């Protein structure tokens, strides 16, 4: 069988090892060298170009049904649990805790749950309702396992590495939020980021109020492509008397976007994290769909006030 192997950045270091193993089993193997941002970003075009029979995608669970033969190989990582002892005293005032993690550590949730229950805590693990597949699992773009239990918990615990995944959950919940990073040996509350990102969002909206020409980002990535939303936003923007065009790419290069000087603001319809994590990389407002709708709402209110003032 002709295979195309695809690895996220953290697993690319093991690409040759897996390729050799599959070759020894009689397969013809190719390795995708392109960056991948998750199971929403399958190398389908590459696979079709080399006439691969299957993509073997490492490190993520199935995101949605792809228009290609894809085998998903999850990567379970047994992270050390000693940091839970350091987390415990920080949670004294909270009785019911919501527990979330990434796909790499989902298999450890029962043990973590048991640890906190032995220390008198009630643990809730939410069920996903979006692209995530397993209870307690969150993605950068899908935090349903956290949002679904926000009302029922006193605080959240994220077990895993980095800020990418917990930040998305933080911004979509309201309770105190503790991260436990087992490899970095860090335990801390990150609640202050809610105020930081709320302020950034408000700043982008205010800055975009002067914009008259909008570029709408539409990706061709299989799990992020949303042409219907891009066309709807274009219609809304033009109905408000402004100009908008849809900009298409697989992976958006912010230098290239910056060279498109006619556009005064950009609107994201690709991965929702782009408008959160990359908003400072262009030098112009990079808005989410909700943020651009807020811009149009404020512009309409300002126009109504001006018309009212001018009416004798």
Query: Contact, 62 vs 71, CB < 8 A?
Result: no
Residue 310 has pLDDT above 70, yes or no: no
Mean pLDDT of 253-271: 94
Mean pLDDT of 245-268: 95
Instruction: Determine the pLDDT at residue 309.
Output: 67
Per-residue pLDDT of 115-154, as tens digits, reads: 999 999 999 999 888 788 899 999 988 899 999 999 999 9
CA–CA separation, 129 and 144 (whole Å): 6
Mean pLDDT of 4-19: 94
- Residues in Cβ contact with 71 at an 8 Å cutoff, skipping those fewer than 6 apart: 54, 55, 56, 57
Instruction: Determine the pLDDT at residue 19.
Output: 97
CA–CA separation, 131 and 104 (whole Å): 16
Mean pLDDT of 192-209: 94
In CATH terms, 2-73 corresponds, of 3.40.50.11840, 3.60.150.10, 3.40.190.80, 3.30.870.10, to 3.40.50.11840
- Residues in Cβ contact with 280 at an 8 Å cutoff, skipping those fewer than 6 apart: none
| Fold match between domain 83-190 and domain 198-305 | yes
CA–CA separation, 260 and 265 (whole Å): 10
Per-residue burial over 137-162, b if 16 or more Cβ lie within 10 Å, else e, is bbbbbbbbbbbbbbeebbbbbbbbbe
Residue 61 has pLDDT above 90, yes or no: no
Whole-number CA gyration radius for the chain = 22
Mean pLDDT of 41-50: 94
CA–CA separation, 108 and 256 (whole Å): 42
What is the pTM for the complete model shown?
A: 0.86
The structural domains of the chain, with segments of one domain joined by +, span: 2-73, 83-190, 198-305
Q: What are the Cα distances from residue 209, in Å, to 243, 251, 258, 264, 276? A: 13, 27, 19, 10, 18
Per-residue pLDDT of 156-167, as tens digits, reads: 999 999 898 999
CA–CA separation, 106 and 200 (whole Å): 32
Per-residue pLDDT of 73-90, as tens digits, reads: 988 989 999 999 999 999
Q: What mean pLDDT, rounded, does the chain reach?
A: 93
CATH superfamily, with its number, for domain 198-305 = Diphthamide synthesis DPH1/DPH2 domain 3 (3.40.50.11860)
Per-residue burial over 247-285, b if 16 or more Cβ lie within 10 Å, else e, is beeeebeeeebeeeeebbbbbbbbbbbbbbbebeebebb
Mean pLDDT of 180-206: 95
Three-state DSSP class for 167? helix
Mean pLDDT of 198-216: 96
> Going by CATH, does the domain composed of 83-190 fall within 3.40.640.10?
no
For 265, half-sphere exposure in the C-beta direction (CA atoms, 13 angstrom radius) is 28
Residue 43 has pLDDT above 70, yes or no: yes
Query: Contact, 86 vs 112, CB < 8 A?
Result: no
Percent of the chain whose pLDDT exceeds 70: 99
Residue 304 has pLDDT above 90, yes or no: no
């Amino acid at each position: 069988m002709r295979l195309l192997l695809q690895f996220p950045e953290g697993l690319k270091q093991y690409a040759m090892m897996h390729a050799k193993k599959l070759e020894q089993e009689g397969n013809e193997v190719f390795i995708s060298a392109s960056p991948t941002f998750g199971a929403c970003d399958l190398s389908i075009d590459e696979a079709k170009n080399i006439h691969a029979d299957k993509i073997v995608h490492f490190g993520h669970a199935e995101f949605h049904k792809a228009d290609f033969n894809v085998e998903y190989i999850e990567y379970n990582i047994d992270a050390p649990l000693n940091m839970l002892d350091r987390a415990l005293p920080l949670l004294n005032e909270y009785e019911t805790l919501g527990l979330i993690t990434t796909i790499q550590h989902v298999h450890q949730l029962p043990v973590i749950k048991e640890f906190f229950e032995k220390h008198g805590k009630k643990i809730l693990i939410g069920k996903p309702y979006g692209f995530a597949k397993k209870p307690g699992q969150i993605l950068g773009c899908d935090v349903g396992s956290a949002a679904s239990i926000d009302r029922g918990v006193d605080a959240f615990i994220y077990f895993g590495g980095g800020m990418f995944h917990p930040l998305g959950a933080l911004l979509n919940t309201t309770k105190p939020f503790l991260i436990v990073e087992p490899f970095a040996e860090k335990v801390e509350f990150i609640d202050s980021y809610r105020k930081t990102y709320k302020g950034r969002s408000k700043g982008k909206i205010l800055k975009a109020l002067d914009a008259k020409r909008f570029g709408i980002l539409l990706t061709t990535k299989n799990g992020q492509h949303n042409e219907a939303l891009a066309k709807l936003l274009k219609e809304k923007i033009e109905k408000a008397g402004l100009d908008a065009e849809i900009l298409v790419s697989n992976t958006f290069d912010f230098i290239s976007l910056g060279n498109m000087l006619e556009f005064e603001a950009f609107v994201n319809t690709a991965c929702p994290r782009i408008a959160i994590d990359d908003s400072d990389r262009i030098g112009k407002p990079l808005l989410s769909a909700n943020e651009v709708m807020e811009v149009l709402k404020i512009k309409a209110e300002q126009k109504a006030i001006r018309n009212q003032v001018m009416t004798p």
